[in-house]
Each structure stands twice: as structure tokens, then as C-alpha cells.
């Protein structure tokens, strides 16, 4: 691929500054059911991009951090230089970026996302955010980063886009550098007919966007195809039937909000009238506690060959 970023005729540092205008910040969005959603032509992502979604993403971040015992897997930390250059793809609200920057003050941490839900002014000095769509390639030179992190992109990438994005990650990662991929798995079955109905509708909505609900379990194969070494995987389950587990209950609240935000994509599959959808979601959440249901998180790390 040479020394310049792929798919880009000209490279420049387009990192967002604090004086970004309101029109720039509100571009490429559409309002549905009173919520602001992404409206990027080449993206299949179907979650919102408003303040309520920022709150949900922050809650999700802290739950995932808690269940895995940190933001970075120990195998990555062992290989991370003190002055590392770190990239977070699909950074969302920027929580992971800012925490990692605080924990590693000598590192430079860059978050990139196609939606500007990240902080514009209040952030650590070693943090930079960039508004960019990873599907257009990464706007960085070859071998620029010591560590690349990407999390919960199963609802953002089509099946055929996963290998392409991983190839871009490989391009910008230094030889011997580390990658960490964290993905959700919402494929668990249940004895509740309502849970099965909702999950089937969720999967069908993904299929219509050419997305793969089972991608989390396939990432090891994709990393092996790139000849990555020291591949390590850990899984964690959120048991929604345990009200005494605060992390599981926080993620259940998060999942409830996720489903409600997906009303434009799911309501016609599940109810006769959109106004009935939120009540159905509440019944579904009650069944998750009553019958039991698991959501699983997969965390992978691997090292690029030297």
C-alpha cells in the first residue's frame, strides 16, 4: 500500500478542534421518532447519535470495563510502550479514549468516529478526536500506531466490510503492535417465546443490512488470516436473570434502551402500531429476568508479526 493512507489522494491532520461549527457537528444525520440518527450513505449503522445515546454509550463502557477488569487486556499492556501511539476506531462518546489517556499520560490517544459524539473541549492533553468514516479507509500513514482498539462494531459493519477494516488496521499498526477487538454476541436462545421473537427480529434487521449477528465468534479466524500472533480471547456473560448482579442489571437497562432506539428498524416486525413498541420492550425485559437470558462479550487481542 506504500507510505500513504489507502483510498486517500491527500493526507492531512483533520483532527477536530474545539471551534468546530454547529453545522459541521450536525451533518449527515436524520431525525426519526424524535431521535437523531446517522445518515451516512455508505454506512449500515442504525443507532442514534444524540445526547441520550452518549449516556447509553458511557453506561455501556463502564459495564464492559468492569466485567473485563480494565480497558486494556493484560497481554496488550505487556507489549505497550510507555510513549505508545494508540487508536480507537468507532470511539463513540470517547470514554475509552479519555480513560486510557489518563492511565497512560505519556501516550498519544486518538479516537475516530463518523459521528461527533465525543467531547470537543474538555479532554486530556494527550487526546485527539477525528471525525472520519473508517469505511473510507483510515487517514493515517502506514505503521503509525502501537495499539489499535475497536469495540462493538457488529451493528456498524457489513459482513464483507470486516476483513477490509481489519486490513486497514493491519496497515496502520506497527510491526509487533497489538490489536484489541471487543464484540457483543446476542445469539443466546431462551424458553421465552417473546425473547425469541424479539431476538429473531433483531437478527433479521441485521441481515437486511448485510450484517452478521455471529461475527464476535469469527474474529479469531479473521485475525489468523492476517497471520497475527499470540491471539488471546476471553468471554464474559451478562446474566440478566440475576437482579443481585449490578453489572448485569446495568447492561439490561442498556439493552432496554438499545431496543427502544431501534424502534424505526424493529417496530414493524413486532407490533401492529409503533406506539405499542415500548410496552413490548418492557415485557421483553421482564422476561429476560423471569426466564433468564445471556448477552456475551468477546474480547480478542493479537500481535502483528514483526
pLDDT at 39: 59
Predicted structure pTM score: 0.86
pLDDT at 161: 97
pLDDT at 40: 57
The CA distance from 170 to 141, in Å, is: 11
The CA distance from 247 to 62, in Å, is: 9
The CA distance from 262 to 45, in Å, is: 11
Give strand ranges (E) for 186-280: 229-239
pLDDT digit string, tens, across residues 136-182:
999 999 999 999 999 999 999 999 999 999 999 999 999 999 999 99
Helix (H, G, I), strand (E, B) or coil at 175: strand
Nearest residue to 132 via CA among 28, 18, 22 = 28
pLDDT at 41: 57
* Per-residue pLDDT tens digits of the chain, which is 306 residues long: 444 444 433 333 333 333 232 323 434 666 656 666 555 556 665 555 667 777 888 888 999 999 999 999 999 999 999 999 999 999 988 999 999 999 999 999 999 998 777 877 777 999 999 999 999 999 999 999 999 999 999 999 999 999 999 999 999 999 999 999 999 998 888 999 999 999 999 999 999 999 999 999 999 999 999 999 999 999 999 989 888 899 999 999 999 999 998 888 899 999 999 999 999 999 999 999 999 898 899 999 999 999
pLDDT at 50: 67
Contact 252, 285 (CB under 8 A): yes
pLDDT at 16: 34
Grid coordinates representing 86 are: 494508540
Contact 112, 98 (CB under 8 A): no
Grid coordinates representing 141 are: 500513514
pLDDT at 45: 58
Give the chain's radius of gyration (CA, Å): 19
Give the chain's domains with CATH numbers. Answer: 22-184+211-237+298-303 (3.40.50.150)
The CA distance from 106 to 108, in Å, is: 7
Amino acid at each position: 500500500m506504500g507510505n500513504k493512507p489507502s483510498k486517500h489522494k491527500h493526507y492531512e491532520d483533520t483532527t477536530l478542534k474545539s471551534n468546530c461549527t454547529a453545522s459541521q457537528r450536525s451533518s449527515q444525520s436524520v431525525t426519526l421518532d424524535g431521535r437523531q440518527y446517522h445518515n451516512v450513505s455508505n454506512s449500515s449503522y442504525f443507532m442514534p447519535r444524540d445526547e441520550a445515546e452518549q449516556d447509553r454509550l458511557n453506561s455501556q463502557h463502564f459495564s464492559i470495563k468492569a466485567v473485563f477488569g480494565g480497558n486494556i487486556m493484560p497481554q496488550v499492556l505487556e507489549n505497550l510502550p510507555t510513549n505508545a501511539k494508540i487508536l480507537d476506531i468507532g470511539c463513540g462518546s470517547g470514554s475509552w479514549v479519555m480513560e486510557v489517556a489518563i492511565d497512560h499520560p505519556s501516550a498519544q490517544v486518538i479516537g475516530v468516529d463518523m459521528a461527533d459524539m465525543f467531547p470537543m473541549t474538555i479532554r486530556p492533553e494527550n487526546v485527539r478526536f477525528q471525525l472520519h468514516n473508517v469505511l473510507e479507509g483510515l487517514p493515517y500513514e502506514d505503521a503509525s500506531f502501537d495499539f489499535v482498539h475497536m469495540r462493538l462494531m457488529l451493528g456498524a459493519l457489513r459482513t464483507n466490510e470486516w476483513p477490509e477494516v481489519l486490513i486497514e488496521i493491519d496497515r496502520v499498526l506497527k510491526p509487533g503492535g497489538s490489536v484489541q477487538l471487543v464484540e457483543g454476541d446476542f445469539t443466546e436462545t431462551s424458553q421465552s417465546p417473546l425473547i425469541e421473537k424479539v431476538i429473531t427480529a433483531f437478527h433479521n434487521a441485521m441481515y437486511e443490512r448485510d450484517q452478521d449477528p455471529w461475527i464476535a465468534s469469527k474474529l479469531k479466524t479473521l485475525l489468523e488470516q492476517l497471520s497475527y500472533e499470540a491471539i488471546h480471547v476471553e468471554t464474559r456473560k451478562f446474566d440478566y436473570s440475576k437482579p443481585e448482579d449490578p453489572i448485569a442489571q446495568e447492561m439490561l437497562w442498556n439493552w432496554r434502551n438499545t431496543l427502544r432506539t431501534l424502534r424505526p428498524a424493529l417496530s414493524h416486525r413486532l407490533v401492529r402500531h409503533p406506539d405499542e413498541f415500548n410496552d413490548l420492550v418492557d415485557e421483553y425485559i421482564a422476561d429476560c429476568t423471569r426466564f433468564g437470558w445471556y448477552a456475551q462479550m468477546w474480547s480478542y487481542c493479537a500481535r502483528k508479526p514483526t
